[in-house]
Amino acid sequence: MKFPSLIVPLVVFFGLVVPLDAKPPNIVWIVAENVKLDFECYGAKNVRTPNVDSLAAEGIRYTHVFSTSPVCAPSRSCFMTGMYQTTTDMHNMRSHREDDYRLPPGVRPITQRLQDAGYATANIVNIGDKVVGTGKLDLNFVNEGELYNTQSWEELVQQEPFFAMINTPEVEYDIYDRKTYMHDRVKWVGEEWHPKVATPENVTPPPYYPDHPLVREEWARYLNSVSGIDVRVGWIIERLKKDEVWDDTVVIFFGDNGRLEARGIHWCYDSGLHVPLIVRWPKNYPAPPQITPGAVSDEVVSLMDLTATTLHIAGIEKPPLMQSRNLLGDQADSPRRYAFSARDRIDETVMRIRSVRGKRYHYLRNDFPERSFLSLNRYKEKCFPVKPLMRELMAAGKLTGPPADLMQPRLPKEQLFDTEADPHEIENLAESDDPEIQKVLAEMRAALDVWIVETGDRGQTLEPAEIVAPFEKEMHDWFGTPEWYGKR
């Protein structure tokens, strides 16, 4: 950031006095698709993530961040607007793609707010000869006009201040690369150059899966794809430095929803909602008081808080009705007690699950308990070989313990987990006689009831059958339908 040498009007920026005409920092979102906290700086094993770790070393790492949905389109629709997807009617997966839906009055995409404030914006795929992103949008609104000014990195960096969104391809598209279903975005994605830190022999999959060679192979694949994400993060950092904008750029690294595993993505357990969030601060700008090199925060954060926080970094006042909360600065919003999340229809699979996550306890309400892990989702059956494996093992009487519990035909109506004592969320405490547990359960039930009313949760009304039917056909055409489904 270059300041004029003459006397100029001054303004307070993050507590320090700076020239009034100083430009705000550049902002880069690096979005890691479908990951949990599986990076070395979060304590993960069998991965190699020096570049992500370096971002944490220069900024703040949040440990209790939860997406508002366990799947991409509703989650992205939320953090791109700062409003719960359940409030804005964007809660069902890939909805409103072919109708005249418009965002509610006063709700706007964050990129358009940034553009109004003078930011150039881009959704980046290539930086020079490096493929760093997918260009993915996957939003449940399509009628709001152009969201980005350009797709060119070279054009973007000439227009400071700039905002770039970069969606790393590794985790999801690697599973497509391994299956018969191929996506046009995976042609340049492969595993051959990933660091091979994880192997089927050295990994420990979660205990709700059977100890089986295929499970270990898939778990190692996932962890190696995380190491592959880190390689691309390194390319981005290298180019920011080469273009001499590194010292003027806030880099925000986060996951769009939880981990790509059979009981992760699509489900409101921590494995489907708990995501990384790192904010790296540049040296040419005064840092907010929350950020010192290597800082760690365990406050409860909703991923939607990314929206208001980004606007604050850009010097833009948060709209009065925005549900997102700003995390930074002297006037940061008050911390959350709970992060709320929701799962509704995903593809052809209709469910309604609501989640309340505190610092320690996690409460889930399953409105359709008869729709369990066994429910058909053709994408899951095709691209997650663990799921058909577990069906086979269950039928043969070879599953016991948590894997067998996962394969039951019904879910409990309510689930409560102590995530400190039970990080894999195996033991349901909802029926415990412990008075302290019952007190926690009552408080979280009440918090959810209030949230549903206060936020106008649109998921209380299901979509008509005629809206769901085309998704059944589309999923069948893409992935096929398992033979067992027709024999029920």
Give the pLDDT of residue 21.
Answer: 58
Whether 328 shows a pLDDT value over 90: the answer reads yes
Give the pLDDT of residue 212.
Answer: 97
Report which of 357, 377, 195, 174 is spatially closest to residue 271, judged by C-alpha positions.
357
Give the residues across from 251 on adjacent strands.
Answer: 28, 280
- Contact criterion met (CB below 8 Å) for 344 and 318: no
Give the pLDDT of residue 22.
Answer: 81
Whether 178 shows a pLDDT value over 70: the answer reads no
Give the pLDDT of residue 194.
Answer: 73
Lowest-confidence segment of 109-123, 174-188, 322-336, 416-430 by average pLDDT: 174-188
| Reported confidence tier of residue 4, pLDDT bands at 50, 70, 90 | very low
- Percent of the chain topping pLDDT 70: 91
Tell me if the pTM is above 0.85.
yes
| Reported confidence tier of residue 65, pLDDT bands at 50, 70, 90 | very high
- pLDDT, average across residues 273-298: 97
| Reported confidence tier of residue 170, pLDDT bands at 50, 70, 90 | confident
Report which of 260, 343, 345, 279 is spatially closest to residue 33, judged by C-alpha positions.
260
What is the spatial distance between Cα 177 and Cα 189, in angstroms, rounded to a whole number?
A: 8
Residue labelled with tokens 């039930």: 445
- pLDDT, average across residues 60-86: 98
- Residues 84, 61, 12, 119, CA torsion sign: negative
- pLDDT, average across residues 347-363: 98
- pLDDT, average across residues 103-118: 98
- pLDDT, average across residues 257-277: 97
Angle (CA) 255 387 395, round 5°: 160
Whether 2 shows a pLDDT value over 70: the answer reads no
Residue labelled with tokens 């007190």: 439
CA distances from 132 to 25, 239, 291, 410 (A): 22, 11, 27, 41
- Contact criterion met (CB below 8 Å) for 179 and 479: no
Whether 298 shows a pLDDT value over 50: the answer reads yes
| Reported confidence tier of residue 195, pLDDT bands at 50, 70, 90 | confident
Give the pLDDT of residue 196.
Answer: 87
What is the spatial distance between Cα 431 and Cα 405, in angstroms, rounded to a whole number?
A: 16
**Mean pLDDT of the chain, nearest integer:** 92
| Reported confidence tier of residue 377, pLDDT bands at 50, 70, 90 | very high
Q: Residue 391 CB: number of other CB atoms within 10 A?
A: 16
- pLDDT, average across residues 36-53: 98
Whether 461 shows a pLDDT value over 90: the answer reads yes
What is the spatial distance between Cα 338 and Cα 335, in angstroms, rounded to a whole number?
A: 9
Q: What is the 3-state secondary structure (H, E, C) of the chain?
A: CCCCCCCCCEEEECCEEEECCCCCCEEEEEEECCCCCCCHHHCCCCCCCHHHHHHHHCEEEEEEEECCCCCHHHHHHHHCCCCCCCCCCCCCCCCCCCCCCCCCCCCCCHHHHHHHCCCEEEECCEECCEECCCCCCCCCCCCCCCCCCECCHHHHCCCCCEEEEEEECHHHHHHHHHCCCCCHHHCCCCCCCCCCCCCCCCCCCCCCCCCCHHHHHHHHHHHHHHHHHHHHHHHHHHHHHHCCCHHHEEEEEEECCCCCCCCCCCCCCHHHHEEEEEEECCCCCCCCCCCCCCEEEEEEEECCHHHHHHHHHCCCCCCCCCCCCCCCCCCCCCCECCEEEEECCECCECCCEEEEECCCEEEEEECCCCCCCCCCCHHHHHHCCHHHHHHHHHHCCCCCHHHHHHCCCCCCCEEEEECCCCCCCCCCCCCCCCHHHHHHHHHHHHHHHHHHHHCCCHHHCCCCHHHHHHHHHHHHHHHCCCHHHHHC
300 versus 1: the higher-pLDDT residue is 300
| Reported confidence tier of residue 188, pLDDT bands at 50, 70, 90 | very low
The CATH number of 25-487, from 3.40.720.10, 1.10.10.10, 3.40.50.10470, 3.30.70.3450, is 3.40.720.10
